[in-house]
Amino acid sequence: MSERTTYLLIDGENIDATLGTSILQRRPQPDERPRWKRLLGYLEDRWDQPVKGLFFLAIDGEIPIPFVQALTALGFQPIMLRGEGKVVDIGIQRTAEALLGREGDV
């Protein structure tokens, strides 16, 4: 593999609600949710370079420990954000801007 890295930035805010309301018109079943690990593998194979998955979450209240642990086990780095407004959108934008100076792909 090359030294370049592909950075995959996931907007994880309300992903179940968006998938369920906008696409399925109901709550998604476990087998209907995205296969995040497969996505990392696909991108790694496609561009023949390591992939760093960053999964952005808005945290309002308690940290969803089981979900964060699952993301970590799948190879993602959870980015947990708190605050007013569109913290996930702002976090992704700032991360993308910071990655511009690195050798890699977003």
The reported pLDDT for the residue numbered 92 is 96
Give every CB contact of residue 97 below 8 A, 6+ residues apart in sequence: none
The reported pLDDT for the residue numbered 34 is 85
Give me the number of domains the chain comprises.
1
Among all chains, which residue has been given the structure tokens 């086990």? Answer: 73
Average pLDDT over residues 84-101: 93
pLDDT in tens, 39-78: 999 999 999 999 999 999 999 889 889 889 999 999 999 9
The reported pLDDT for the residue numbered 27 is 81
Give every CB contact of residue 12 below 8 A, 6+ residues apart in sequence: 55, 56, 57, 88
Which runs of consecutive H residues, i.e. helices, occur in 1-106?
15-17, 36-47, 65-73, 87-99
What pLDDT band is residue 28 in, cutting at 50, 70 and 90?
Answer: confident
pLDDT in tens, 1-19: 457 899 999 998 777 778 8
CB 48 within 8 A of CB 72: no
- Full residue range of the structural domain in which residue 62 is found: 5-105
